Structure 1
């Protein structure tokens, strides 16, 4: 069973004094500092290069790059540069891209899911070749650890075959709603998708690290009241319609630090989620939980294991 790792995914409003925020994140006991790839947000590789200069231990990830925005040769150059600047701390996260409005704003054609999936697999092949002869070469060989984030079955199957880390976001675009309004999967659907990954991975399954991107963390002594409030926000898609649904979801963490820690251990047992990432606005809350998780799991606090 994989040791727990914890990460923070920073969005545009979270960065403030970025050097100081990076140092604080490391000091809080997080294992990974991550940046998304959306228009309207800072450059992910710029953020990670600056964080590399401000920190010593924390790993640096993209969560996740929109593959359609990147030429493989330029992506290999950016990734290898950050890996060298950080002395081998990069985790390269890739995905299909799902916000059609961003494609339109960037003047990039929006293609169907099957085409974007084929393009992602072609990029993976190209990156393997490019990293083998890349100058500057990445410190981590043959390449930095690869995370593929996705939700649909075909994307998860690709991740199961090719990634070191499989990222589960649990979000589905709500039918009939404006772009960017999502529904969150309930526990049974999450388990179905995890089982799909394990089946597709076959003999690789034991070596995969499973990442979950938690959408909200609330440390409170009245979990039922807070879960009811969150259910009002998330209701309508059939995944998290009641307080009980919210409290059962691995994508929303509500309760005391002890209760959330116990929930994370249970989720690792049920789904295999050992790599927990939260958004920047939940950083302070999750930092209260991390020491308790480490204690209950019998792990030393501090840096996570190397991912090969």
Structure 2
């Protein structure tokens, strides 16, 4: 059975010193990776990752996830390779198709139909692999482009690749190419503005994991399976915490569904650790991310799960 890895994500960078201290705290608490997102309302991901690695000794860094339609393949390859070099080979690259329409509107970019964005993601993976291959790298007028330190993802020519989602098209791409598959815990609410989500149920997650595993075939056992935990509440009353989720979602999720969700953690440290062990057996989730506000609340659970 694969051992757990634990990670958190960057919500903001109030100042350089504050961010450095936050990264060092994460490392002391036992986290393995610090992730940055790729949203217009958040800091630019690659400078954040270089700073996080420079501030720590062993913390890996990664994108969860890059908004592929924002990027040109050649320019993104340069960013990834340079960041992998500057972090000493500690980079993990998460790629996604984008889902927040307002970001495209604000950036003056077309918001293509989902199928088009999914194809852009698939093409981007192949293009990055070609840029990372030494035998395909032609000298340019300004010199040879940088190459990643790691040779694990992208067909063995770059950093580990993370792809995650909920729908069939993205999970097929993830199953075919990713070293780390993130089975997303969110579904687009039908008829609502793009980017309006509800949490997946335990049963839906069972089906999505089975779908991805089936399409991965023999690769499934080599894949690291990832989940993003949306809420961590240490409490002696799990039902009350779950009921609050039901209230917060306007009844879109019942308390019973919240208690069963693999993307929500409620209870004592021992109960939360036991839940994650059950979910490892049920879904295969061993790479877990919590949002930055839960960095310290989740730390005792990490300690409880470390061998």
Partner of 2:154: none
Partner of 1:205: 220
Of 227, 248, 255, 2:260 maps to 248
Q: Aligned with 2:120: secondary structure?
A: helix
Partner of 1:232: 247
CA contact (8 A) 1:88 1:138 kept: yes
Q: Please list the CA deviations of residues 64-114 of structure 1 after superposition, one character each: whole Å capped at 9, or x if unmatched.
A: 000001111111111111111111100000000000110011011111111
Q: Please list the CA deviations of residues 193-252 of structure 1 after superposition, one character each: whole Å capped at 9, or x if unmatched.
A: 000000000010100111000110001111111111112113443xx22x2211110100
TM-score (norm 1): 0.91
Q: Aligned with 1:245: secondary structure?
A: helix
Partner of 1:139: 149
Q: Does 1:263 align with 2:275?
A: yes
Distance in 2, matches of 1:235 and 1:26, equals: 37
Distance in 1, matches of 2:215 and 2:261, equals: 24
1:13 and 1:231, CA in 2 relative to 1: closer, same or farther beyond 3 A?
A: farther
Q: Does 1:196 align with 2:196?
A: no
Distance in 1, matches of 2:96 and 2:277, equals: 27
Distance in 1, matches of 2:72 and 2:99, equals: 18
Partner of 1:289: 301
Partner of 1:105: 106
Partner of 1:302: none
Distance in 2, matches of 1:286 and 1:139, equals: 32
Distance in 2, matches of 1:150 and 1:194, equals: 11
1:276 and 1:138, CA in 2 relative to 1: closer, same or farther beyond 3 A?
A: same
Partner of 1:127: 128
Q: Please list the CA deviations of residues 119-156 of structure 1 after superposition, one character each: whole Å capped at 9, or x if unmatched.
A: 11111111011011363221101210000021111100
Consecutive unaligned residues of structure 1, counting only runs of 5 or more, are 300-308
Shift of 1:20: 1.0
CA contact (8 A) 1:212 1:251 kept: yes
Partner of 2:66: 65
Question: How many residues align structurally?
Answer: 292
Distance in 2, matches of 1:181 and 1:234, equals: 12
Q: Does 1:93 align with 2:94?
A: yes
Higher RCO (C-alpha under 8 Å, 6+ residues apart): 1
